Amino acid sequence: MHFTDAHEELRLHVRRFLEAEVVPHLEEWEETTFPDSIMRRFGELGLLGLRYPPEYGGQGGDYFSAVVLSEEMARAHCGGLGMAVAVQAEMATPPVARFGSDEQKRRFLAPAITGEAIAAIAMTEPDAGSDLAGMRTTARRDGDEYVIDGRKIFITNGRRCHWCLVVAKSDTEAGHRGFSLFIVPRGTPGFQVARTLKKLGMHSSDTAELVFDDCRVPADHRLGGEGEGWTELMWELQGERLIAACGQVAGAQATFEYAMRYATDRAAFGRPISQFQVIKHRLVDMATRIAAVRALVYETCERWDRGEYPVREISQCKLLASQVAVDVADDAIQILGGHGYMAEFPVERAWRDARLSRIGAGTDEIMKEIIAKSFGL
């Protein structure tokens, strides 16, 4: 229903690339993080601009092209690298493509599509996570420049980014109308990486805390109109949440398939453990929950691709997909027993990587609040 022959050709193209050039290095990158060169390789293959206009180096595809990439990254257990690629292609660059000027697109979007520039998006602050409206980073107009001051935390690609899309208050008295987005290139005086953070999962990608101290950027680095940043950010978050849901469903499917193979091969008490009712029923529950949330996610992707703005359904997708991904990984660990707890088996990393999905891009609790508000509650 959702994937054409062209999508399936793309899927095969991505799968072959990942199996040949990415999967053999994943364990090493869990220790060292991935090299910048692999991002350039994604760009060379056209995978960072699948649905962007050809005039900026993109492939001109539809939203399901992005879904294919997200699914294949999850299928290959890419974890942190998959998240970094998603930040590059589906989080930091979409606002530039939608709200940026032609000059901004050519200067910042085009090299991000080729992988020559790595992008990040900086929203969360040490004292403003779920409460984004409470962020304290400011951008004060000073002639032809803006002076940015503040701190951002939990920023994927933050250590290595060539430019960062920063959310700041350009008018501290204007409420939601006081936010603006700014493109801040690496090397801008006053922009520095405070530290690289250690975390539970997603080890192959870097996560950083960023500091902006009297950081001056030209006024033409503002994205869209002054005070339009909140609207731009809310639009970006819908795409971020939906593509995250796609990856979580595909990751859950890959974990389920691994657990099922293990249960079929593993013998106890004289027969495969998949023949024990407690195991087979657990597997059935895993598969059924994955199938149900996948149907919702695909339907919502179809609406997003048509240009609709289904906030309730996107929030439901993100909430359910992240919960299912974590639950499936947890069930898989239980099926594998002691082996599931060991780092040499992929379900241990699947659980650690999936757990972030219930926090990033909006916690479970925030998703429920959004859904409740859509019902007038």
- Using H for helix, E for strand and C for coil, what is the string for 205-266? CCEEEEEEEEEEEEHHHEECCCCCHHHHHHHHHHHHHHHHHHHHHHHHHHHHHHHHHHHHHC
Under-70 pLDDT residues of the chain: none
Q: How far is CA 196 from CA 75, 224, 230, in A?
A: 27, 30, 27
110: burial class by Cβ within 10 Å (0-12, 13-18, 19+)? buried
pLDDT score recorded for residue 114 = 98
8 close to 36: Cβ distance less than 8 angstroms: no
Query: Which token pair is 374?
Result: 């859509």
pLDDT score recorded for residue 76 = 96
Kindly write down the DSSP assignment for every residue of 101-128, as one continuous string.
Answer: -HHHIIIIIHHHHHTSS-EEEE--BTTB
Q: Where are the domains of the chain?
A: 5-117, 121-227, 230-374
Closest CA to 110 of 35, 185, 187, 54: 54
- Selected from 2.60.40.420, 3.40.800.10, 1.20.140.10, 2.10.109.10, the CATH number assigned to the domain covering 230-374 reads 1.20.140.10
Query: Which token pair is 303?
Result: 């609406």
**5-117 is a CATH 2.40.160.50 domain:** no
Selecting among 71, 90, 209, 240, the annotated active-site residue is: 240
Known active-site residue 236: no
Question: What span, in angstroms and rounded, lies between the C-alpha atoms of 368 and 373?
Answer: 8
Strand partners, 166: 122, 182
pTM comes to 0.96
Question: What is the crossing angle of helices 36-44 and 5-21, to 10°?
Answer: 150
Within 8 A by CB and 6+ apart from 99, the residues are: 181, 223, 224, 228, 232
215 close to 147: Cβ distance less than 8 angstroms: yes
pLDDT score recorded for residue 3 = 97
309 close to 316: Cβ distance less than 8 angstroms: no
pLDDT score recorded for residue 62 = 97
Q: How many CB atoms lie within 10 A of CB 220?
A: 12
Arch. (CATH architecture) of 121-227: Beta Barrel (2.40)
Instruction: Please name the amino acid found at residue 51.
Output: R
pLDDT score recorded for residue 1 = 81
Strand partners, 125: 128
Residue 202 per-residue DSSP state: -
Question: What span, in angstroms and rounded, lies between the C-alpha atoms of 163 and 144?
Answer: 20
